[in-house]
Amino acid sequence: MRSLGEALAVMVACGEGWPSVHAELVHRYDPGTLAEARRAALARDLEARTRDEPPTSGGRGAAAGGGPGVPGVPGVPGVPGGWDTPGSDWESILDAWAADLDDAGTPGLGGGAAASRIPAGTVPAAFLPAPAPPARGEDATDPVVRRGRLLAADGRLRVEWPDEDEVTVVVGEHWRRRRGDAVSGTGTVSAPDPARRPGLVVREQLLVRPWLLLSWLRPRLVAPVEAGGRPSTRLTMAPRPGPRPPALEGLADGAQRFDLVLDDETGVIVELAAYYLGRLVERRALRHLTVGDTPDPRLFDLTALG
């Protein structure tokens, strides 16, 4: 495509000009880089939420001082020194918070002293989560590669990962997944309340609904390319300032840049890659993309999965 406007028009119209598309699906991710990016994102969110804490008692924010605690760590009772005091760490700070909350009481956990000081809808600094240490295996350096199949048609999606005995079906805003004998998703006993939208759990949806990315990522045209022998366009995208939309929560947390390849004919994203500090976090790619006829509707039957 010659212009960014043309590329955006194809993305917005994706799904309107073809009965169905099917392709091989490859998901590659680096557990170590992914864990590092997530920890960096958690640390930034924690710092931002503490800095922007709304005023509590006395008209001063908990992060700005004036809280009910001991001087040194504003708003955090019982912790001497400041954030940069030598020897202080997140574990000791959290232990002090937990001890204080047990004594004073917290909203919804019994006790009313703390609840009476906190305006409705305000989350006090003591509830801010600290970046978690890496779980076992998170810092592995070897990339993980998953291979599957994707079928999309008229607002419906079917994703299969044969090696993991997993099948996921999305119909509109409803989804269901069977992994082995376990079934989850909309209308199942294990579904969270309220049920999560499919965009939160079926990331492959972004490949056939590319307009969802535009609500958070700012695109820039790079160059025309060929992908699998098909005319395509490469774009690079950077996150916009501010929080991401709910449909994109958790998408490659901490990634600083996204590169994508857009199929010119269908508007389908045949490659979506996320990077942190120049290193690949994860990539979802479609190989051998094929435009097909109207598929068998039984392939998208949610109840057939259990």
- State pLDDT tens for residues 216-226: 899 999 999 99
Residue 136, pLDDT score? 57
296 has a pLDDT exceeding 60: yes
79 has a pLDDT exceeding 50: no
Q: End of a domain among 127, 157, 183?
A: 127
Both 298 and 191 in a single domain? Answer: yes
Both 277 and 168 in a single domain? Answer: yes
pLDDT band (50, 70, 90) for residue 198: low
Q: Which domain holds residue 261?
A: 4-30+143-305
Q: End of a domain among 102, 127, 152?
A: 127
Residue 106, pLDDT score? 36
Both 93 and 219 in a single domain? Answer: no
Q: Which two tokens stand for residue 185?
A: 């998703």
Residue 134, pLDDT score? 52
Residue 244, pLDDT score? 77
14 is a domain residue: yes
Say if residue 77 is preceded by a cis peptide, omega within 30 of 0.
Answer: no
Residue 15 · residue 267 · CB < 8 Å: yes
pLDDT band (50, 70, 90) for residue 215: confident
Helix (H), strand (E), coil (C) string for 217-272: EEEEEEEEEEECCEEEEEEEEEECCCCCCHHHCCCCCCCCEEEEEEECCCCCEEEE
Both 95 and 242 in a single domain? Answer: no
Cα separation, 52 vs 70, in Å, equals 21
288 is a domain residue: yes
41 is a domain residue: no
Residue 53, pLDDT score? 55
162 is a domain residue: yes
46 is a domain residue: no
Which range has highest mean pLDDT (31-35, 55-59, 96-100, 127-131)? 31-35
Q: End of a domain among 127, 159, 191?
A: 127
| Strand partners for 182 | 179
Q: How many CA atoms lie less than 13 Å away from 300 in the CB half-sphere?
A: 19
Both 221 and 167 in a single domain? Answer: yes
Residue 187, pLDDT score? 65
Residue 94, pLDDT score? 46
CA max distance for the chain: 70
Q: How many CB atoms lie within 10 A of CB 35?
A: 21
Arithmetic mean of pLDDT, 179-205? 69
Q: What does the angle CA 255 – CA 219 – CA 231 come to, to the nearest 5 degrees?
A: 110
User: Considering the chain, what percentage of its residues have pLDDT values greater than 90?
Assistant: 40
13 is a domain residue: yes
Arithmetic mean of pLDDT, 116-125? 40
Which is more confident, 150 or 246? 150
Please enumerate in sequence order all residues whose Cβ is within 8 A of that of 127, keeping only pairs 6 or more positions apart, or say none. none
Q: How many CB atoms lie within 10 A of CB 215?
A: 12
Residue 141, pLDDT score? 59
Residue 41, pLDDT score? 77
Both 93 and 233 in a single domain? Answer: no
Both 285 and 161 in a single domain? Answer: yes
Q: How many CB atoms lie within 10 A of CB 23?
A: 22
CATH number, position 280: 2.50.20.10
Within the chain, where are the H helices? Answer: 4-12, 31-51, 90-104, 113-117, 198-201, 205-208
Which is more confident, 43 or 104? 43
- Domains in the chain: how many in total? 2
Both 83 and 213 in a single domain? Answer: no
pLDDT band (50, 70, 90) for residue 200: low
Q: What predicted TM-score, i.e. pTM, was given to this entire model?
A: 0.67
Q: How many CA atoms lie less than 13 Å away from 6 in the CB half-sphere?
A: 14
Q: State the chain's mean pLDDT as an integer.
A: 74
Both 60 and 111 in a single domain? Answer: yes
Position 201, amino acid = V
Distances (CA, A) of 75 to 42, 144, 169, 268: 21, 43, 47, 50
Position 77, amino acid = P
Both 66 and 208 in a single domain? Answer: no
Both 247 and 279 in a single domain? Answer: yes
Both 156 and 269 in a single domain? Answer: yes
Q: How many CB atoms lie within 10 A of CB 198?
A: 25
pLDDT digits (tens, 9 = 90+) for 140-158: 556 888 999 999 998 899 9
123 is a domain residue: yes
Q: Which two tokens stand for residue 186?
A: 């909309």
Residue 195, pLDDT score? 52
39 is a domain residue: no
Residue 44, pLDDT score? 75
| 276 phi and psi angles, rounded to 5 deg | -130, 125
167-189: b (≥16 Cβ within 10 Å) or e:
bbbbbeeebbbbeeeebbbbebe
